[in-house]
Amino acid sequence: MLRVMVIGAAGKMGREVCRAVLGQEDMSLVGAVDRKDAGQDLGAVLGTEALGLAIVTDLEEELHRAAPDVAIDFTTIQAARKNIPVLISNGVRPVVGTTGFTPDELAKIAAECDRTGRGAVIIPNFSLGAMLLARFARETIRHFPACEVVELHHQQKRDAPSGTALRLVESLSGGSHEIPIHSVRLPGLVAHHEVLFGGSGELLTIRHDSMSRESFIPGILLAVRRAPSLRHLVTSMEALLEIEQ
Ligand code: NAD
């Protein structure tokens, strides 16, 4: 049985992730950390029956009490920056969905994983469809080099451009040319990415829509199952799927 903790458990993604973990036969939800709703039973926050698991604020204390194998982080970049070293130094595998890490920060975390021989997962978009969008776009740019990216999200999303859009242009440009990103923040949106390719007298648009947060759950659960055996940092769904079990 995999022992799983959720950090940011009272947030939009955190609540969805808690529900998903509770529904897995091979996982046990052993800890819930958040600065919001602290002291409340997690069940009350999820709208289920009481679970006998209180939301707490102190990560390190909760790690010692709950002894998780894996900790899933959906918080803010400021919180996740602090949480990851604490998890790694306590031998807990981080599965991080929080966005906003710079390439430099990722390189430092990767070096720490290599040094300790204990892996981690930091993936800005856990959906399978978003991974395929990136794959199709890489194929298309060989024929249509002029392109721009539009990312559209709910208005509470704090970072702009989205982590997914940044990763997308990085993989499309190979660091060689600038691809503009346009960010839209509006109520009614969830998470949407499109790449527009302009050609002579034609336009090709590749678009992915996350209609609900459920779209991220299969990728997150896969990462949780793979995390204990990882020895290095994994930063994309493509890389995660390629890892042999
Ligand atoms: P949210 O604001 O609803 O939830 C964040 C939660 O973290 C809140 O409950 C907040 O109280 C908690 N938190 C913040 N700082 C904390 C701290 N220091 N200690 C403990 N808890 C703390 O946000 P959300 O929509 O759930 O998104 C969270 C993150 O996940 C964002 O960075 C977002 O971009 C990212 N995200 C990633 C994916 C993906 O597939 N990787 C998908 C959706 C969202």
Percent of the chain with pLDDT over 90: 92
CB of 34 closer than 6 A to ligand 1?
yes
CB of 126 closer than 6 A to ligand 1?
yes
Is residue 177 pLDDT above 90, yes or no? no
pLDDT the model gives residue 146: 96
* Average pLDDT value for residue range 179-207: 97
Residue 139's contacts (CB-CB under 8 Å, 6 or more residues apart) are: none
* Average pLDDT value for residue range 43-51: 96
Residue 245 pLDDT class (50, 70, 90 cuts): low
**Ligand 1, residues 75, 164, 213: which to mutate, most atoms within 8 A of Cβ?**
75
How many Å lie between the centroid of ligand 1 and the Cα of residue 11? 6
What are residue 28's DSSP bridge partners? 3
Percent of the chain with pLDDT over 70: 98
* Average pLDDT value for residue range 59-75: 98
pLDDT the model gives residue 176: 66
How many Å lie between the centroid of ligand 1 and the Cα of residue 74? 4
Is residue 169 pLDDT above 70, yes or no? yes
CB of 10 closer than 6 A to ligand 1?
yes
State how beta strands 147-153 and 191-199 pair.
antiparallel
pLDDT the model gives residue 174: 79
CB of 36 closer than 6 A to ligand 1?
yes
**Ligand 1, residues 13, 42, 220, 236: which to mutate, most atoms within 8 A of Cβ?**
13
| Long-range interactions of 62-68: CB distance < 8 A, separation 24+ | 62/5, 62/31, 62/33, 63/5, 63/31, 63/87, 63/90, 63/92, 65/31, 66/3, 66/5, 66/30, 66/31, 67/3, 67/30, 68/3, 68/4, 68/5, 68/30, 68/31, 68/92
CB of 98 closer than 6 A to ligand 1?
yes
pLDDT the model gives residue 243: 82
Mind listing the pLDDT tens digit for each residue in 110-156?
Answer: 999 999 999 999 999 999 999 999 999 999 999 999 999 999 999 99
Residue 245's contacts (CB-CB under 8 Å, 6 or more residues apart) are: 226, 229
State how beta strands 93-96 and 120-122 pair.
parallel
The two three-digit tokens of residue 164, written as one number = 């997914």
Residue 235 pLDDT class (50, 70, 90 cuts): very high
Residues with a catalytic annotation lie at 153, 157
pLDDT the model gives residue 140: 97
CB of 206 closer than 6 A to ligand 1?
no
pTM of the model: 0.91
Range in 32-36, 57-61, 235-239 with the lowest mean pLDDT: 235-239
Q: Which helix (H) or strand (E) holds 167?
A: helix 163-173
pLDDT the model gives residue 175: 63
Nearest atom (ligand 1) to Cα of 162: 34
Please name the residue whose Cα sits nearest to atom 12 of ligand 1.
Answer: 8
Distance CA 48, CA 51 (A): 8
